[in-house]
């Protein structure tokens, strides 16, 4: 915070806002166990303290604020899958040293290795261990994972991959009935903006699919088996999602609803659930490739 103030000073006619984020991963906020089925389970809750200061400006009041939020991370899978999940969730651009130290601690617990608080060092080790030639290949492979937590995290990172390659994998995920519905829904949302014939027709085929996109067991911290279920911060998060209209919409949505939303977003057209109208428009306006 002091460094930011020295770099960007307020003035009589200039108001400046500063924000400082502080992360703290205590031992009691990290759970890593092996289940009876041979898979591992990771749960972490990282409290984030946010300190805001607003200074300067002859017509403005100085102000400051303090807030705290909780960032839950959960993944079920093999040790390797959980390692990949952690590397996807670790944001290298964060500047707080405790944030990076927290992810180092998590990865050391999972892997038994220690590469310091630099994400790229861990990532290069993992790419070599998994025989991936580069980061893009790694993300594309993880998008197809049978660990739904890992697949979801990889899909969220799909925008970092060339769109043509990402679209092909995302379309395959949407088509695959063996993939968990919420993951297929996330793949629809992640489709790159330039529509292709295969992606468009895949979405059309699904617009009358009434499979629920969401189930309670997909969100760990709302289930009583969650190790931090009774924490005040987690209880507040549960109360918040019960009231949030966007979350309510997701909980009541179906794969068909998500497919229709994706179609309208990508084509800027709206033919409702009229499959024939959609197919007619797609045949006329979307070129086949390959």
Per-residue exposure over 81-107, b if at least 16 CB sit within 10 Å of its own CB, e if not: bbbbbbbbbbeeeeeeeebbebbbbbb
pLDDT for 23: 74
CB 102 within 8 A of CB 46: yes
Q: What is the CA radius of gyration of the chain?
A: 22
Predicted confidence pLDDT, tens digits, the chain (290 residues): 444 444 445 444 456 666 656 677 889 999 999 999 999 999 999 877 676 666 555 555 666 676 667 789 999 999 999 999 999 999 877 777 888 999 999 999 999 999 988 999 999 999 999 999 999 999 999 999 999 999 999 999 999 999 999 999 999 999 999 999 999 999 999 999 999 999 999 999 999 999 999 999 999 999 999 999 999 889 999 998 888 888 888 888 999 999 999 999 999 999 999 999 999 999 999 988 75
Residue 53's pLDDT is 66
The predicted structure's pLDDT at residue 11? 47
- pLDDT, tens only, 205-261: 999 999 999 999 999 999 999 999 999 889 999 998 888 888 888 888 999 999 999
In the chain, % of residues over pLDDT 70: 86
Biggest alpha carbon distance in the chain? 65
Q: How far apart are CA 182 and CA 188, in angstroms?
A: 10
pLDDT of residue 116: 85
CA–CA dist 5, 2 (Å, integer): 5
């Amino acid at each position: 915070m002091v460094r930011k103030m020295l770099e960007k000073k307020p003035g009589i006619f200039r108001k400046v806002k500063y924000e400082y984020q502080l992360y703290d991963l205590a031992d009691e906020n990290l759970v890593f166990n092996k289940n009876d089925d041979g898979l591992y389970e990771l749960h972490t809750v990282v409290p984030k303290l946010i300190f805001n200061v607003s200074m300067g400006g002859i017509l403005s009041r100085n102000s400051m604020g303090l807030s705290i939020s909780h960032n839950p991370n959960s993944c079920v899978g093999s040790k390797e899958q959980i390692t990949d999940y952690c590397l996807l969730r670790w944001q290298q651009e964060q500047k707080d040293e405790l944030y990076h130290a927290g992810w180092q601690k998590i990865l050391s617990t999972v892997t038994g290795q220690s590469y310091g608080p630099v994400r790229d060092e861990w990532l290069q080790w993992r790419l070599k261990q998994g025989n991936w030639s580069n980061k893009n290949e790694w993300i594309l492979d993880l998008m197809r994972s049978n660990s739904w937590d890992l697949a979801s995290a990889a899909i969220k990172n799909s925008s970092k991959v060339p769109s043509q390659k990402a679209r092909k994998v995302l379309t395959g995920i949407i088509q695959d009935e063996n993939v968990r519905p919420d993951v297929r829904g996330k793949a629809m949302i992640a489709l790159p903006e330039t529509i292709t014939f295969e992606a468009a027709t895949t979405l059309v085929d699904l617009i009358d699919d009434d499979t629920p996109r969401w189930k309670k067991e997909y969100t760990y911290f709302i289930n009583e088996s969650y190790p931090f279920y009774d924490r005040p911060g987690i209880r507040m998060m549960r109360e918040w999602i019960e009231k949030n209209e966007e979350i309510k919409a997701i909980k009541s949505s179906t794969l068909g609803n998500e497919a229709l939303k994706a179609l309208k977003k990508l084509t800027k057209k709206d033919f409702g659930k009229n499959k024939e109208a959609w197919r007619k428009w797609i045949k006329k306006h979307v070129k086949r490739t390959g």
